[in-house]
Amino acid sequence: MKRVRVVFITVVCFDQGLGLPLAFGGKPRWRLDRRDFIRFMGRGTAAGIAIQFLPAWADRARGGAGRSFRAISPSSDDALVLAEGLKADVLLRWGDALDHQGDLYFGYNCDYTAYFPLPSINEGLLWVNHEYTHPLFFSTSTVGGKSREQTELEMRNVGGSVVHIRRDHGLWQPVLGSPYNRRFDALTHIPFAWPEPIDGMASAVGTVQNCAGGVTPWNTVLSCEENYQSAFGDYAYDHGGGKRLVTDKAVDEWYLYFNHSPEHYGWVVEINPFTGTAKKLISLGRFCHEGATTVEAADGRCVVYMGDDAAGECIYKFISDRPGSLDSGELYVADTFNGRWLSLSFERNAKLQAHFKSQTDVLLRTREAARIAGGTPQDRPEDIKIDPLTGAVIVALTNNKANKNLFGSLLKIEEAGGDPLAMDFSSSVFLMGGEASGFACPDNLAFDRHGHLWMTSDISSSAVGKKEYAPFKNNGLFVIPMRGANAGRVLQVASAPVDAELTGPFFSPDGNTLFLSIQHPGEESTDLNRLTSHWPDGGTSIPKPSVVAISGPLLRHPERIIF
């Protein structure tokens, strides 16, 4: 379907990981020479890493360092294509039952994943976000003309899932009927963690557009509501504080049947996967939240880094008032021109007092407050992750057509003194997307336990394989070694099925499994009889967004990957 979305939809598809290793062999077109490498690593970064730079042939010539694994080339196959040294097992498909009655089932368009261990090393709870639906697979129509029943069905298929999973002889499987299994969807009541009502209510009905997320130091999950306006529209505010509903971007058209306040969405939702308690964290602001990456400061307070994924929107940092809770604290927006975190506290920022009535008002209209405070517009901030070895904050800026930035980049933020509580920082381009570096439109990030960076791409499904994006073919999963001969290179290790996007990479604590969502395979389909993808089941089956468990020796030795 042709959804009108503010943010590009990316589709990535993976094959069942049957290897296909050398079928896609050959040299990628974007192999970097040393001069290019330094240029793309950016000022301030190149010197530190380029000093270790060696040409790729050196890896092969060295020998004796163990088996090496060859990166793949881009693919247009309707398959989850994996580099040698990796295999994938489908763990959860859209619609899979989670209980014996069939009342509880896995939702659509899986995104962020997070694994929470249980006492047994082979058992845990997997949180999975379900970002949005596709009318073709719910109401056999394109946008428009949905019934209330069809709308409710869509609302039941978003939000998130908690699934008890168990590993037996290396194979992860859901535990059907486990009391831990639960769903949160667009009809689940969730209270606001805030002393005042939000648009007159103490709780929201449902959570929507759950994109990326994070895990807190106290083992809860943060699920981020991104393009919330798609569901119930948004408010436009006038200078006197009045507001009116606008629905031009409400492509899901749920507002036609459900009169839910737009102010009840666009938050970070904190969920305890063990108990099922949930709350919306007003203190972290309201915008198109991509993810929420936490780090514990030396005094125990929690710092959260967040991106607002829309063209020209900002990067945020939140510092909690006390350890163990995000219910209150101070929100800051990044001024990357001057390297300053700017407070969005109504009490402390006189500029905000001139425009808003209260802290609640500031948080409800965070984007406006960020502009007034002097936050720097960015090229669509997506995921943010912290380098476990250096403390550097890596931000995926996916693209911005308005700025003629088609391929995006990775931005590196280094806090003064390496302290996440610092109010000053330096920033530099870590990597530029493009043919030379071999990736376009970075989205999700994950550091493995060796400190190497894994990254997924999100070229919009409508743009995959076309025009400037043609060389990249389907979306992919990449490894960026942070040390060694290939430091700073972008090496593709997986290619997504047709129209799909690979999202939510999350490593198990032992590092032996990479959980990964395969989101929106076949998204460009407009007719059930002419589907663009049949992943994962093949034949004439409908495509099903699914979570896979990736394993194999390449996960244990990412430094051995070569061109």
Interface residues toward Ca ion, by CB under 5 A: 211, 443, 458
Which residue's entry shows tokens 């336990």? 449
Among 290, 308, 327, 379, binds ligand FEO (CB under 6 A): 290
From 506, 528, 422, select the one nearest 140 (Cα to Cα): 528
- Name which of 224 and 372 has its Cβ closer to Ca ion: 224
Quote the CA–CA distance of 467 and 109 in Å, as a whole number: 26
Among 131, 225, 335, 524, binds ligand FEO (CB under 6 A): 131
Collect all residues with Cβ–Cβ distance below 8 Å to 150 and sequence separation of at least 6.
138, 139
Query: 108 and 157 in contact (C-beta within 8 Å)?
Result: yes
Structure tokens at 426: 């330096």
The phi and psi torsions of 232 (rounded to 5 degrees) equal: -125, 15
CB of 543 to ligand FEO, least distance (A): 18
CB of 123 to ligand FEO, least distance (A): 29
211 is an interface residue for ligand FEO by CB under 6 A: yes
CB of 442 to Ca ion, least distance (A): 9
CB of 459 to ligand FEO, least distance (A): 12
- Name which of 90 and 211 has its Cβ closer to Ca ion: 211
Among 59, 154, 185, 226, binds ligand FEO (CB under 6 A): 226
- Name which of 263 and 443 has its Cβ closer to Ca ion: 443
Structure tokens at 317: 């940092």
DSSP states of 15-61: ------TGGG-S--TT---HHHHHHHH-TTTHHHHHTT---THHHHH
Count residues near ligand FEO (CB under 6 A).
8
Burial of 248 (0-12, 13-18, 19+ CB in 10 A): exposed
- Name which of 129 and 437 has its Cβ closer to Ca ion: 129
- Name which of 382 and 524 has its Cβ closer to ligand FEO: 382
- Name which of 224 and 555 has its Cβ closer to ligand FEO: 224
382 is an interface residue for ligand FEO by CB under 6 A: yes
Q: Which does 226 bind (CB under 5 to 8 A by kind): Ca ion, ligand FEO, none?
A: ligand FEO
Query: 159 and 276 in contact (C-beta within 8 Å)?
Result: no
Sites for ligand FEO among residues 304-333 (CB under 6 A): 309
Q: Which does 440 bind (CB under 5 to 8 A by kind): ligand FEO, Ca ion, none?
A: none
Hey, is 149 helix, strand or coil?
Answer: helix
* Torsional class of 385: left (φ above 0), alpha (ψ -120 to 50), beta (otherwise): beta
Sites for ligand FEO among residues 503-522 (CB under 6 A): none
CB of 406 to ligand FEO, least distance (A): 16
Omega into 117 within 30° of 0, i.e. cis?
Answer: no
Quote the CA–CA distance of 43 and 47 in Å, as a whole number: 8
- Name which of 227 and 336 has its Cβ closer to ligand FEO: 227
Question: Contact residues for ligand FEO (CB under 6 A)?
Answer: 7, 131, 211, 226, 290, 309, 382, 443
